[in-house]
Amino acid sequence: MTAGIVLAAGGGSRLGGRAKALLPHRGRPLLHTVVDALTRGGCDEVFVVTGAFGDEVAAHAPPDATVVRNDRWADGMSTSLRAGVGAAARHDVLALTVVDFPGITDELVRVVLAAHDRGTVTVPVFGDRPGHPVVFDRDDALTAARQATGDEGARTFLRRNRDRVRRVDCTLLADSADVDTPDDLHRLAN
Q: Which domain holds residue 143?
A: 2-12+19-176
- We report the CATH number of the domain holding residue 128 as 3.90.550.10
How many independent structural domains does the chain possess? Answer: 1
Model confidence at 128: pLDDT above 90: no
Q: 165-189 pLDDT, tens per residue?
A: 999 999 999 988 888 878 878 888 8
Is residue 109 a part of any domain in this protein?
yes
pLDDT tens figures, 53-85: 999 999 999 999 999 999 999 998 999 999 999
Is 35 within the bounds of a domain? yes
Residue 84's closest CA among 148, 174, 165? 148
132 within some domain: yes
> Is 190 part of a structural domain of the chain?
no
The answer to whether position 188 is within a domain reads no
Specify if 185 maps to a domain.
Answer: no
- The percent of residues above 90 in pLDDT, for the chain, comes to 79
User: Quick check: is 65 in a domain?
Assistant: yes
> Would 49 be classed as within a structural domain?
yes
